[in-house]
Amino acid sequence: MTISARASLARKAVEYEMRRRAAIVPDGGERTVEQARTDLDRLSEVIHLPAGMTVAEQTVGGVPGLWLCPADGDERTVILYLHGGGYVAGSTHSHRGIAGHMVDAIGAPAFLAGYRLAPEHPFPAALEDALAVFDALTAETPADRILVVGDSAGGGLALALVVALRDRRLPAPGGVVAVSPWTDLAGTGESLIDRANDDVMLDPTKVREVAEMYAGDRPLDDPLISPVYADVDGLPPILLHVGDHEILLDDSVRFWEECTEAGVEATLRVWPEMWHVFHAMAPWVPEARRANQEIARFWWTASGVGPPQRRSTL
């Protein structure tokens, strides 16, 4: 069976199970923000946490969230995870499973931040929350031992966070992992058009509407809203993962090009025939598990601590 066939079967199986459990009405009309949030939160019914992982609610830097701690986790480093959802949806509930499998591969504790969402809280609310959490984490862990991870909008937020830290002359994290990051809310990438028929997860016609909810009265090409327009000089090591079949492909490619031109240590990994945030299907798709393992190896190298001491290596 080809990669695309396996991916399609896995996606359809998860989608079917989500619809069966929640009796979700098939797409065919305009969804409200609340409906989008409810639908995304149902991911927790399908994508379960890895065995042995503990979960604890806590507020860090004034931001509510969850600590995800792998069995026999190594506490030499800490992860700050910023969830996706277009800045208008997504939560610690929807993303605990997605983050949990990635965190389990890395083998370090992670704080999954429940940052404020638009349109109730437009930019810069999410960025302010990310900055507050990162600052609070540095009270216990050196900045260079913190890995910032984000998927989709959370990936763009992770990149905006390190740009903001640099601009404020604050310590940077030891590395950033951006999975299918949304870096251009102005929507100028060609992949929005030429990947529209391949992308099984995102609708290019909705991108502008959601972007404007988050940006509010700020321009969509503001560098802290769309980090593809930022000066990237001096950013920490970055790993970008993106699927070849997603409309946000160019959001990763263009950001990586900016980094390489500026001499930033950045790695771009384009996964053939994969879709938006395919890492979410780690329980079913081998490529997703390999992607999480690659993220783990990136952090072990970037942090300088090596593989976890109390776990078997990948």
The yes-or-no answer on residue 152 being catalytic is yes
| Mean pLDDT computed over 256-281 | 96
The yes-or-no answer on residue 128 being catalytic is no
| Mean pLDDT computed over 199-208 | 88
Q: Does residue 217 sit within a domain? A: yes
Report how many domains make up the chain: 1
Instruction: Return the amino acid letter for 307.
Output: P
What is the sign of the dihedral through the CA atoms of 61, 65, 70 and 72? positive
Q: Does residue 247 sit within a domain? A: yes
Q: Does residue 167 sit within a domain? A: yes
How far apart are alpha carbons 188 and 2 in whole angstroms?
32
Q: Does residue 231 sit within a domain? A: yes
How far apart are alpha carbons 30 and 35 in whole angstroms?
10
Count other C-beta atoms under 10 Å from residue 23's C-beta.
6
The yes-or-no answer on residue 276 being catalytic is yes
CATH code of the domain containing 142: 3.40.50.1820
For the chain, the three-class secondary structure string (H helix, E strand, C coil) is CCHHHHHHHHHHHHHHHHHHHHCCCCCCCCCCHHHHHHHHHHHHHCCCCCCCCEEEEEEECCEEEEEEECCCCCCCCEEEEECCCCCCCCCHHHHHHHHHHHHHHHCCCEEEECCCCCCCCCCCHHHHHHHHHHHHHCCCCCHHHEEEEEECHHHHHHHHHHHHHHHCCCCCCCEEEEECCCCCCCCCCCHHHHCCCCCCCCCHHHHHHHHHHHHCCCCCCCCCCCHHHCCCCCCCCEEEEEECCCCCHHHHHHHHHHHHHHCCCEEEEEECCCCCCHHHHCCCCHHHHHHHHHHHHHHHHHHCCCCCCCCCCC
Tens-place pLDDT, residues 209-251: 999 999 999 999 999 999 999 999 999 999 999 999 999 999 9
Q: Does residue 313 sit within a domain? A: no
pLDDT range class, residue 314, cuts 50, 70, 90: very low
Query: What is the share, in percent, of the chain residues with pLDDT greater than 90?
Result: 78
Instruction: Given the residues 246, 252, 279, 303, select the one marked as catalytic.
Output: 246
Residue-number span of the structural domain to which 265 is assigned: 3-303
Tens-place pLDDT, residues 126-185: 999 999 999 999 999 999 999 999 999 999 999 999 999 999 999 999 999 999 999 999
Give the chain's mean pLDDT.
90
- On the question of a cis peptide bond just before residue 236, with omega within 30 degrees of 0, the verdict is no
- On the question of a cis peptide bond just before residue 142, with omega within 30 degrees of 0, the verdict is no
Q: Does residue 115 sit within a domain? A: yes
Q: Does residue 310 sit within a domain? A: no
Instruction: Given the residues 91, 94, 152, 252, select the one marked as catalytic.
Output: 152
Write out the two tokens for 134. 């990162």
Instruction: Given the residues 101, 241, 276, 279, select the one marked as catalytic.
Output: 276
Q: Does residue 297 sit within a domain? A: yes
- The pLDDT assigned to 217 comes to 96
